[in-house]
Amino acid sequence: MNRPLRRLSLVVAFLFFALFASTTWIQFVSADRLNAMPGNSRQLYAEFGRERGAILVQGGAAVATSERVDDPYTFQRAYAAGQLYAPVTGYYSLRYGTAGIERAENDVLSGSADELFYRNLSSLLTGEKPKGADVTLTLQPKVQQAAWDALAGRKGAVVALDPETGNVLAMVSSPSYDPNTLASHDGAAQQQAWTQLNGDEDDPLVNRATSALYPPGSTFKLVTAAAALESGKYTADSALDGPQELDLPQTNNTLKNDEGTACGPNDKVSLSDALKISCNTAFGWLGEQLGAETLGEQAAKFGFGQSLSIPTSVATSRYPTGDAVAGPLLAYSAIGQGNDVATPLQVAMLSAAIANDGVVMKPNLVAKVSEAGGSGSVIEQPSPSELGRAVSSSTAKTLQQMMELVVSNGTGTRAQIDGATVGGKTGTAQHGAGLPPYAWFTSFAEKGGKKVAVAVVIEDGGSTESAYGGRLSAPVAKTVMEAALNG
């Protein structure tokens, strides 16, 4: 071969090599990135052209399905119960992506999960179009509906847990939204809904049960009481200082009781009675005796500071550290004010752990992942798992008895249920001068071997006087607990 031909051959070989290398790079290295690009219409057509799995609740009712439509996308997401389950299901939108379970379980709903590889391979061989798997939630429709109805359109959230498994029985956030508006294939309608929802000052797209952080108010006194009992220095009968006003260190300010009086004769009150009447000065004093480190350690054992995925993401509840809990702030932190923040889910976990003999269970929303179409073939089924032990069994028993006194003869009498053992703790959380406080109630109930723990928060529930958790939130918790016990 003469020299020009050899050179030409080398050039052709080099071009073939370059073509082979670039093709390999695109196919095997850049494929995932290119497929995920927002402007990749092929990927969108392919994803919306595949039948997505359904989202179901206990009893088998589907709350999110894929319906065949006559447009280039083939399928459109439909949400049968609209606002009721929207904070949990989230949405599946062409333009605005996903949220909630639609996002957290997207790989199984879309059929792209590794666990579905062999099933999809089988579908290809038989000529069937691959489908996504169904996801069944732990939510119980009667409990969910009861929580939604009892909240009655007020801003807030309700969470009900099975204390022994951590399963979420109800999760309501209000105001909510209709996810069908975001699932529409009409671009203009979709954009209008998105703009309207994001412009709403009440934030209907936020799942308040897991994403909103509130001062927990007096529900945090359960943590302070637990820390005191666990220290071995206090019992339910221990006498605490409970004056009309508690002097705060490094300041001329005082911590006052809501009723403007001392919590007992000679400014003394037992730990049990302090919880029953929700005495601020006694728990502020107790917090100062225990110290921020002890309170922080106890809060962590209940789940504060832990990152949770249920599998939707959960905001991290926090007990403050350093300067945020120094000086006068320590007493405030002991009563759930100052810089304490918690989600309603975390507040429900307090009661759930106490009702579960001190063991904190990991909250969970997914009961199982199964073959689409009701074949019953289970692909994945999460098992209950422990986050840890918050308190000893004996401390949990003492706290249960103290919480039962709150309901039988304290600030939470509106949560009483005939024939059931009910314990609770009220809370009224200040969050700014002149602003209506948040009304809290956290509780547990047991009847006939069934157990449930519930947390309720109502935002801006009226004036300071009317927003006590026992008046506003305890009746909501009662309704939800009854639905769970009788369901």
**Is 477 in contact with 484 (CB distance < 8 Å)?**
no
What is the separation, in whole angstroms, between the first and last Cα of the chain?
Answer: 89
Instruction: Return the closest-CA partner of residue 356 out of 386, 330, 326.
Output: 386
| Own/partner long-range contacts of 145-148 (Cβ < 8 Å, ≥24 apart) | 145/84, 145/483, 146/170, 146/479, 146/480, 146/482, 146/483, 147/172, 147/476, 147/479, 147/480, 147/483, 148/84, 148/172, 148/174
Q: Which two tokens stand for residue 186?
A: 């009409």
Which amino acid appears at position 68 of this protein?
R
218 is catalytic: yes
Q: Which residue has the tokens 């998105």?
A: 194
Helix, strand, coil percentages for the chain (3-state, nearest 5): 45, 20, 35
Q: Which two tokens stand for residue 160?
A: 């009900």
Cis peptide, bond prior to residue 141, ω within 30 of zero: no
**Is 113 in contact with 135 (CB distance < 8 Å)?**
no
Q: Let me know the angle formed at the C-alpha of 388 by 135 and 357, rounded to the nearest 5 degrees.
A: 95
Strand 254-256 relative to strand 245-247: parallel, antiparallel, unpaired?
antiparallel
DSSP 137-206: ES--HHHHHHHHHHHTT-SEEEEEE-TTT-BEEEEEEES---THHHH-S-HHHHHHHHHHHHH-TT-TTS
54-66: string of b/e by CB count within 10 Å (b at 16+)? bbbbbeeebbbbb
Q: What are phi and psi of 169, to 5 degrees?
A: -90, -30
Max intra-chain CA distance, the chain = 114
Q: Which residue has the tokens 């932190």?
A: 333
CA pair distance 395, 393, nearest whole angstrom = 6
Residue 299's CB is within 10 A of a number of other CB atoms, namely: 27
**In Å, how far are 123, 150, 203, 436 from 212, measured between CA atoms?**
42, 20, 10, 17
Q: Which residue has the tokens 């209000």?
A: 174
Q: Which of 174, 184, 218, 333 is catalytic?
A: 218
Known catalytic residues? Answer: 218
